[in-house]
Amino acid sequence: MRIHHLNCGTMGMGMVDHCLLIETRDSLALVDTGFGVECVRNPRKMVGLSRFMLRPKLSETETALWQIRALGYDPRDVRHIILTHLDLDHSGGLSDFPEATVHVHGPEFRAATATPTFSERLRYHAAQWAHGPKWMVNEIEGGEDWFGFTAVRDLPGLPPEILVVPLHGHTRGHAGVAIDSGRGWLLHAGDAAYLGSSIAAENPNTPLMWQMYQAGAIVPAAYRENQRRLRELNRLHGPQISVITSHDPELFRRFAGTQARA
């Protein structure tokens, strides 16, 4: 299994949109999509007013579709997309892979497709999934322990090395994605934290500007608790698990490249 780290959307404050391209035995899988081609071509429809707050670069060369082709792969081989959540900067490229099965955590799917609250209307854009994706909704029932977290295993069509780890708080159904790379675990924690420094095992720190972003959590108490748990995960299991987040540019620079199964 090989894991490629892709920045699928540079934004204001130097934020990146850290997505993963995973080579499984018989296909490709994406963890989040970042901004897609239609976001670049029609930002008013696909990104909406959030483009003024996030200030995305919106370049086709940063889309997952373009980067997958640049790596020499056929985008049609992306058979699976695993979403941390359905915020517009994480699902903007869904329509670039219309044949892919889209794995999303049940509480998130229901939050995004039911009647959302005012704050949720700003973050979810149904236009991004108007093409009718092949949804595969996973639930927490029957979950198993993963380093003290509940994990959703046996995702249909995906190898057992890929798990969903519910991390509700940033949104009602936010989840992380854990991958056994063969040389340790990689946990894509999405927006459970914006910066790696926020969940550092020792002396965690979140600069004031980033605290303002964190204030947008839909379930603040759960968000804070998951950051505490992620700090504990780093403290107890740091040598076994690498935790990345979606928007930390320093973490992206550190991990950019390819990890290969040992």
Mean pLDDT of 98-114: 96
List Cβ neighbours of 115 (8 Å cut-off, separation of 6 or more): none
pLDDT digits (tens, 9 = 90+) for 180-194: 998 899 999 999 999
pLDDT digits (tens, 9 = 90+) for 130-167: 999 999 999 987 778 999 999 999 999 999 999 999 99
> The pTM is what?
0.96
Superfamily of domain 2-260: Ribonuclease Z/Hydroxyacylglutathione hydrolase-like (3.60.15.10)
Question: 129: which DSSP letter?
Answer: G
Contact 34, 180 (CB under 8 A): no
| Of the candidates 73, 56, 60, the residue with the CA atom closest to the CA atom of residue 21 | 73
Contact 68, 136 (CB under 8 A): no
pLDDT digits (tens, 9 = 90+) for 38-88: 999 999 999 998 999 899 999 999 999 999 999 999 999 999 999 999 999
Partnered with residue 5 across adjacent β-strands are 20
Mean pLDDT of 211-240: 95
CA distance 4 to 238: 21
| Of the candidates 1, 36, 16, the residue with the CA atom closest to the CA atom of residue 246 | 16
Confidence of residue 262 (pLDDT cuts 50, 70, 90): very low
Confidence of residue 199 (pLDDT cuts 50, 70, 90): very high
Q: Is the dihedral of CA 148, 179, 67, 257 positive or negative?
A: positive
